[in-house]
Structure 1
C-alpha cells in the first residue's frame, strides 16, 4: 500500500504497540521480543491507552489520498474509538473469561514460539520467569478497578481461578518439555515450576480475595451490553429486534433438524437423542487423537483443492493451514490463530479434546470449514498477504468479530449451498452449528439484558444451558462452558449470526443490483480484499461494489 501520512501514522502505531506488547510481537512473528511478557498493570494499560488516543487524534487530522486510504482512516477511527471507550471505562481491564484474558494470552504465546531457533530455549526460560511479575501486574490492575467499584462477575473469577489451578499442575512443565524433550535444562524446568507456582498463587488470590469483592450477578445490564455489542460487531443494533430474530432463526433451524433427524433415526423422539446417537454411531465418530489430527489435516487439504479456482482464488502462499490439539485448560470450543506476518508460522486450527478419546466427526466437519477454509484461515490469511490494498494496521491489528466470525459462519452456509452436507449426519452437524449461533443471540442478549425465557422467567445460566443442550445439541461439558463464556464476554457471542446476516444481506443486495453481472468469486474477492472492519461500514462499502 502507498506510504501515505495515514499509513505512516498507523505503521508507527504498530511499531510502538509491538514495544508495549511482546506477546503481540510473537503472535505477529516479529523477532526481538520473545523473552518478555506484557505489562498487565494499570501502568501498562495506560501506555496502551495513550498510544491509541494519540494515534486517533493524528489520524483524524489527516486527509486520505485515495480510496484505500479513506477506508483505512475510517477503519482506524472506528476501532480505536471503540477500544478507548472500553479502556477509559475500565471495561476492557476487568472483563475476562476462559478464552480471553491475560492468563490465556500468557499460556498461548508459548505455543507460538519457534522451537527450531537456537535462542528459543533461553527466551522461553526468561518468559517463564516473567510469569509471576505479569500475574502480579494484572492482580494490581484488578485491585485498582475494584477500588473504583468496577469488578468482573463471580462466575468468571472462579472459572479463571479453576483454569489457573489446572495450569499450576504441570501446564508450564509441559511447555518446557516441548522445548527440551530430554529434560536436561534445569534452569528451564525450574522456571516452569515458578510459573506454575505463580499460577497457583493467583488462583488462590482470585478465589479467596477477589471473588468476595466480585459481582454476584452474571449479566452486565443493557447499557454496558450495548457498548460491548457495538465493539464486537461494529454495528448499532436494535437489541430487542435482534433477540426476536434469533428466536425465529432457531425455530427454522430446529425444523430443518427434524427433517434430517428422521432420515437418520426415524424412531427418535428428541433432537437431543439424535445428537447422543450420532456421538455413538461409528459412521460419524473418530477414535484417538492421532487419527483425529490426520483427518483434520486431510480435510483442510481437500477443502482447499475443492474451492480454489472456483468459488475463490486462493493465494498459493496461504494454502497451508495446520491443525493441532489445544493445550490442557482451554475452553471447549475449537479456535484458530492466524499466521505470522511473514508467513513463516502458518495459520493454525486448534481442537480441544477435553479429555475425550472418541470424537463426533458429524459435528466437526462444519466446524472445520468455519475454522480453516473457507472460514477463518482463508479470511485472515488473505488479509495478511494483501499488502497492495491494506496497511500494516489493517493486516495485523484489526479484528472485528462481526466481520470475521460472520464470514466464518457464512463460509459454513456456503458449503451447505455447495452440497457439502448432503449426508444427513453431517447436515445435523452443520445445523447444530447454525443452531448454536442462533441460540447464542437468544441467551446472550437474554441473560445480559434481563429478558424473559420461554417459561416466562428471566434468562439465567440454567435456562441457557437447557436451550444449548436440547436445541443447539451441545454436549453437557460444552454447553456449560458456552454459558460461562457468554457471561464473561458480553456481545461477542451474537457477532457470529449477526455478522453472517450482514454478509448474506450484502450478497443478496449485490445480486439484486448487478443481476447477470454478479459473480460469486468476484464478490468473495472484493469483500475479503476490503479487509476487516465494522459491520455498518462493511455494508456501506459493499453497496458501492460495481461487480468487478
Structure 2
C-alpha cells in the first residue's frame, strides 16, 4: 500500500473513532471508550475542519502508479471525509429532538451491548456515563441555537421526546436503562463499580436529562413546526440542507424531485406484481383488496414475540444452508436473532473487532400483532443472511483494506444491499410460500413509498397527514406502523432514500455486468466483487465491478 495513503487512512479511521466513540466501542475499538459523542457547536466546527483537511490531503495524493486497492482507498477518503463535513455543516444537531433514534430512546439499546473486556474499559465506562450528561446539556444548547436561528424540530418530535424523557426520569433509579451494563471482568470490584455508575446516573445524567426536558418543553415546543410543516423545506435553509442529505444518503447527484419521480414509477410497477400474486394469497387481483386483507386479517398477523423470533431463526437457517451456492466469500462469524421492545422495527449489529460475539439482529416485538406473518422471512434475509450480516461481517473480516473501509457504513450501499438481497432471496428459492413472497413486495412498497413521501415532506412541502395517506393507499402497512414510519422520515430526512436508490443501482450494475459477460457471468463472482472490497459509494462501486468483471 502507498505509505502516504496508509498514514492518511489511519488518521481518518482515528478521526471516525474519536468523533463517534459509541460506535467505536460497539465495534470493539476501545481507545475512546471513556467518551460519549460531543455535539457542541465548537466540537462540530472542529470535526468539520478536520474532515475537510483530511479530504484535501487525500485529494493531494497523486493517483499515478496507485493499484486498484489504493485508488479505492483514495476515492473513499475523499468521498467519506468531504461528505461527512457537508453533513455536519447542515447543522442538523439543532433539530435533534428525535423520539426514534434520540439519546433518550437509544441508550437502553446500546449500553447493554458495550463490551467491558478489561479493567481499563471498566474504568472508562464511568467517564463515558459522565459524557452522556455532557451530551444532554450540549443537545439542549444546540436546540437553543436552533430556536434563535428559526430552525426548530417538528412539534410531534418535541412532544414525544419530552414524554420519553418524563418516562425515563420517572423510572426508579435502580431500574434506569443505563444500568443494564455488562458485568466487568474478574479483578474489578463489581459492586463498587456498579455503585459508581449509579452515582453518575443519579447525580449527573438524570439532572442533565431533566434540564434537556425543560428546554424542549419550555423553550422549543412553543416554536416547534406543526405537522403541516414538518418537512425541511419549511426551514430557512431547508431546501439546500435536504439536497445535501439526499446526496449523502444516496451517494448520487439525483435531485429530490428526480427521486420523487423514481418512487412514483416503482409504486406503479409494484401494483402489477400484487395483481399477479394476489389471487394465490387472498383470492383477488384487486390491489386495494389485497392491501386490506394483508393489513386487517388477524390470521395474517403474529400474536407472540417468541414466535416471531422463532420464525426468523428458521428463515435464517434456510439462508445459511443456501448461501454457499451464491457467494464465493462467506463470513467466518455467525448471525443470531434476538427480541427487543425498543428502537426501530428491526436492526442489525455487526460483530465487534475482538470477536466477543457474532452478528445479531433485533426484531422489535413490542407490538407482535403489528408484524404480518408474511414479513418475517424478507426481514430476516435483509437484516441477517444474505443481507447486512454478509455485507458487514465480510467487510470487517477483510485483511487487505484499511480499517476505515472495513467499518464504513454507506447507507445507499448497505441498505441498498439489504433490499437487493430480499429480491435475491426469491432467486435463491428461500421464500416458503406465495404469502412470504408477498412479504417481499410489501417491503418493496415501503421502500418505494419512502422515495415519494420523504421527498414529498422535505422538498415538496407535504404535510405529515398527506404522507400517511399516500402510504396507506400504496402499501399494505398498518396505520400504526405507517405513522411511526412517517415520524421516522420526518426526523431523519433523506436516510429513507438510501434503500431503494441503492437497490436499483446495484441491480443496474448487475444487469450491465451480465450484458458485458454474457454466458461467462458468474453470480458468485458478482457478489464477491460487490462485497469483498468493503462499502463504497455507488459510483465507485460501479467502476469497481466494471474493472473486476469486464
- Whether TM exceeds 0.5 here: the answer is yes
Which residue does 1:276 correspond to in 2? Answer: 295
Q: How does the TM-score come out when normalised to structure 2?
A: 0.87
Paired residues in the alignment total 530
Further displaced range: 496-505 or 52-61 = 52-61
Q: Which runs of 5+ in 2 are unaligned?
A: 185-189, 234-238
Q: Note the C-alpha offset of 1:42.
A: 1.7
Which residue does 1:503 correspond to in 2? Answer: 506
Query: Please, which of 427, 431, 443 is the counterpart of residue 437 of structure 2?
Result: 427
Which residue does 2:380 correspond to in 1? Answer: 368
Q: Note the C-alpha offset of 1:270.
A: 1.7
Which residue does 2:549 correspond to in 1? Answer: 546
Change (3 A) 1:145 1:6: farther
Query: Please, which of 442, 451, 471 is the counterpart of residue 441 of structure 1?
Result: 451
Change (3 A) 1:214 1:438: same
Which residue does 2:483 correspond to in 1? Answer: 480
Distance in 2, matches of 1:224 and 1:442, equals: 18
Aligned 8 A contact 2:152 2:224 in 1? yes
Deviations 1:362-420 (A, max 9, x none): 212101111111111111111111121x2111112x22211111111100011122233
Aligned 8 A contact 2:113 2:182 in 1? no
Aligned 8 A contact 1:59 1:73 in 2? yes
Which residue does 1:512 correspond to in 2? Answer: 515
Which residue does 1:11 correspond to in 2? Answer: 10
Which residue does 1:334 correspond to in 2? Answer: 346
Deviations 1:92-125 (A, max 9, x none): 5545634444445544431321267567766555
Deviations 1:499-547 (A, max 9, x none): 1110111110111111111111100001112322222232233333335
Change (3 A) 1:494 1:536: same
Change (3 A) 1:67 1:204: same
Q: Which runs of 5+ in 1 are unaligned?
A: 451-457
* Structure 1 residues 134-149: aligned runs within 5 Å: 134-149=135-150
Is 1:306 aligned to 2:307, yes or no? no
Q: Note the C-alpha offset of 1:272.
A: 3.3
Query: Please, which of 217, 220, 243 is the counterpart of residue 226 of structure 1?
Result: 243
Which residue does 2:365 correspond to in 1? Answer: 353
RMSD (Å), alpha carbons? 2.9
Which residue does 2:236 correspond to in 1? Answer: none
Deviations 1:182-238 (A, max 9, x none): 999544444444544543442332122122234442121243322110010110114
Q: Note the C-alpha offset of 1:480.
A: 0.6
Q: How does the TM-score come out when normalised to structure 1?
A: 0.88
Distance in 2, matches of 1:134 and 1:69, equals: 37
Further displaced range: 502-511 or 25-34 = 25-34
Is 1:173 aligned to 2:176, yes or no? yes
Aligned 8 A contact 2:311 2:376 in 1? no
* Structure 1 residues 376-395: aligned runs within 5 Å: 376-388=388-400, 390-395=401-406
Which residue does 2:336 correspond to in 1? Answer: 322
